[in-house]
Structure 1
Amino acid sequence: VISLIHKYLNAGVVQKGMFQRTEDGVPQGGPLSPLLSNIILNELDKELTRRGHRFVRYADDCMIFCKSKRSAQRTLTNIVPYIEGKLFLKVNQDKTEVAHISKVKYLGYTFYRYKGKCRLRVHPKSIKKMRDKIRELTSRSNGWGNAYRALKLTQFVRGWVNYFVLADMKQMLKRTDEWMRHKIRTIYWKQWKKVKTKFRELKKLGVEQEKAWICANMRNGNWYCGGYFVLQTAFKNNKLRELGYPTFTEKYLKICKN
C-alpha cells in the first residue's frame, strides 16, 4: 500500500496536454485524494484521541472542540507543530482559526445552541449556492421543456435535502418553496407570451373567464404577474405536483418521518 501511495504522489499530472511533475501534494480533485487524506490523517485522529480532544474530521477538513477560546488557542498552537513536524503536512493558515461554533462553516453546515445543546443549520453561503442553482435550472436560456426542467429540479432537490437532512431547516425550506413556486409560475407566464395564449391557458387551468381575461391583459412585469393571485390559484401546489415539480419541504419531512 505504501508503495502504491508513493507511486501515486510522484505520478505527475497532465494539464492542457502537457505532463507536469508534482513535487509535493496530490492532484486536486483526484478520486484518491480523500483516501490518501484518511490514510495519513489517521495518525492525527489517534493523537487527538490520545490528548483527550473532541473532534470531527472529514478527509482533510478537521474541527477540534474546546471549552474556551483560551483552550482552543492553546490546542491550535500545540497541534500545528505535530501536523507539520510529525506528519510532514502543510497547514493552510488562511483556513485555520479559532472561532466560536456559531461562526464556523463546516461541510456546508453552521451551528447554534438551543437549550444547552449544539444543533445544525444550513450555512447562509450554502443557501445562496442552492438558490443560484435553482436560478440556473429555471433559466429559459437552457432551452429545456417543462417536463425536463421538473425532472432536473426533482433530482437537485432530492440530492440537496438528502445531504442537509441533519439541519434544522423546516421554515427556511418553506420560504424556499414559495420562492421556487413563484419562479415556476413566472416561467409559464413568459412562455405564453400573447394575450390570447395566456387567456386560453388560464381557462384550461380552471380560472374563471373574467379573471382569466383581466390577468391575460396585465402589462406588469413577469415577476409581478408570477406572484399574482390568479396564477397562484391556477398553479396550486397540487397542480405543480401533478406537473412533476418537487418541494423541499415534502422531501425533508418524508426523510425525517422515516
Structure 2
Amino acid sequence: MNPVLRGSISYFRLIEVRGVLHDLDGWIRRKLRCLLWRQWKRPATRHWKLQQRGLDAHRAWKSACNGRGPWWNASHMNDAFPKRFFDTLGLVSLPDTRQRFQFD
C-alpha cells in the first residue's frame, strides 16, 4: 500500500488544498480499522482485542455488541488504534509526505 500512496502523493505534490489530503488520509486509516473489525468476526473476539488495546471492559463490550456495521465501529476504534499505531507499522501519511515535497 505504501508504494501506491507515495506514488499518488508524488503525482499530486503540487496540490493546493490541504484538507483533501487530510480527509483522504483519515479515510484510509478508517478503512484499515474497518478491515480489522471484520477480521474479528465474533463479539467475544472484538471485546478481547479492544481490551488488549487499552479500552476498559465496559466500553469494549458495548462496542463489540452494538450490532452496527464495521464502518460505524471503525470510528470508535480510533481510541484503540490511533494514527501513531499505523505510523509505527510504517504506513505513509499523505500530509506528512506532501510536506517533504514542498519547495518553499
Alignment of 1:129-208 (within 5 A): 153-208=1-56
Alignment of 1:206-217 (within 5 A): 206-217=54-65
In terms of fraction of residues, the more strand-rich structure is 1
Q: What is the TM-score when the length of structure 1 is the normalising length?
A: 0.38
Q: What is the TM-score when the length of structure 2 is the normalising length?
A: 0.90
Pick 1 or 2: higher relative contact order, CA cutoff 8 A, min separation 6: 2
Distance 2:97 2:103 in 1: 10
Query: RMSD across aligned C-alpha pairs, in angstroms?
Result: 1.6
- Counterpart amino acid of residue 244 in structure 1: G
Aligned residues: 104
Query: Per-residue displacement from partner, 1:202-257 (whole Å, max 9, x unpaired)?
Result: 112111121111111120112111122xx010111101111232221111112227
**1:250 paired to 2:84:** no
- Counterpart amino acid of residue 46 in structure 2: K
From the CA coordinates, give the structure whose radius of gyration is larger. 1
Give every structure 1 segment of 4 or more consecutive aligned residues whose post-TM-superposition deviation is greater than 3 Å.
none
| Counterpart secondary structure, 1:234 | coil
* Shift of residue 169, structure 1, vs aligned partner: 3.1
- Counterpart amino acid of residue 241 in structure 1: D
**Any unmatched runs of 5+ in structure 1?**
1-152
Distance 2:103 2:73 in 1: 36
In terms of fraction of residues, the more helix-rich structure is 2
